[in-house]
A and B are shown apart, each in its own frame.
Chain A
Amino acid sequence: MGTFHDTRDPLHGITVAAVSGDTVYIGRCHERTPESVVLVDVDEHSEGQDGRTNAEYLQRAARFGAWKRHDRLALETASLSRLAPLKDFYDTGNGAVEAAGLPPVPAPEVGAEAVDDAAAATEPVTLTSAAEAEVARLLEQEGKPDHGLRLGVAGGGCSGLVYNLEFTPRREGDLVLDRDGFSIFLDPKSVIYLRGVRLEFEQGLGGKGFRFNNPNASNTCGCGESFTV
């Protein structure tokens, strides 16, 4: 079974063990680049700490999990001698921490673009110019003048909440943001989760589509489709 999203880093959202020098880190892999590996909900253990070797620590962690000492840690990719799903240590039944290399870092995304910082400071949701153009094009194609872009959230997805994006008429109680040629409708119950979100439209090698960028998400899927706050 594919892990979370077939087009993303297979380690995204997976609890991993990362070995750097004589220290083992266990946490959920959030993001990987050639420079760093970002883990969330992280424990760390150094050789001999609490009277246990790293192998003993890993054996127990593989069976029962690890305690969280840090919300988030960024490790230098170059410092790591091993990075693997913690489950692998359960499968092998031992905590051997010898260098076994690192899985390849996924290629960087293409198509990201800047957004108007002034708008970002005043409005709960912003759109990149490419996203605005695509929404306008799709709404025109839809041919329903009373429809606008509705953004909201619902339960589900990899990280707890997923974004909704649809074209609908305005509903009672909506927060309305006017754009050039169309309106954005926000369900008031969703606004708290959408604050700071930037809607982007990408045209990359992996295809084109809308992508939500949420700087406030504490734990976001690599695809940006779902998030935790």
Chain B
Amino acid sequence: MPYPEQMVAPMRAELTTSGVQELRTPGEVDAFFRTDNDLSLLLVNSVCGCAAGSARPAVLLSMEHPSRPARFATVFAGQDLEATARARELMGDVPPSSPSVAVFRAGELVHFMPRHLIEGRGPEEIARDLTSAFDQLGRDGRPA
């Protein structure tokens, strides 16, 4: 059951006001990935305070890293259901997980951080894992 919009609006704004593009429809998801040949990061946002409450600032921290992906986007699990379903289709056989962070290259999943690698950890710790993955992806181009 989606939560009332006024309750989730601050969780959306935390990302969108810092330059993360929110994808609200399947069409927006397709358009985001269709044009992309560089690294793109997708945060599957959620209302869970303990995990998403750290994931959001972690992604924002990772945006400051030199080898960051070219573009950052987000879908909101439990809220924008169709957009999230479309984004998950692009992740292949990876189980649904929210919050989670997926990094794509040319529309292909090359790195995935599921919820259990986020929960219980601070933003700096999560950001460190993300930026390590960015570095590895930038260095040898292989999935991290």
B138 at the interface (CB under 8 A from A): no
CB distance from B55 to the nearest CB of A (A): 13
Contact A162 B49 (CB under 8 A): yes
- From B7-15, B22-30, B33-41, B60-68, the one touching the partner chain is B7-15
The total of Cβ contacts below 8 Å across the A-B interface reads 80
The residue from A65, A154, A160, A226 contacting B114, defined by CB atoms under 8 A apart: A65
- Report how far A174 CA is from B116 CA in the complex, Å: 40
Are A160 and B117 CB-contacts (below 8 A) given A4-B50, A65-B94? Answer: no
- Report how far A161 CA is from B1 CA in the complex, Å: 13
Contact A1 B48 (CB under 8 A): no
Are A155 and B50 CB-contacts (below 8 A) given A4-B120, A14-B120, A66-B95? Answer: no
- Report how far A154 CA is from B5 CA in the complex, Å: 11
Are A90 and B48 CB-contacts (below 8 A) given A160-B3, A229-B1? Answer: no
Complex interface: chain B residues within 8 A of A154 (CB): 7
Contact B112 A158 (CB under 8 A): no
Please give me the 4 A-B residue pairs with the lowest Cβ-Cβ distance, nearest first: A155-B7, A15-B116, A65-B114, A160-B47
Additional A-B contacts beyond A65-B96, A221-B50, A228-B48 (13; CB < 8 A): A1-B125, A3-B50, A13-B50, A13-B119, A13-B120, A67-B95, A155-B7, A155-B8, A155-B10, A156-B49, A159-B49, A160-B3, A229-B1
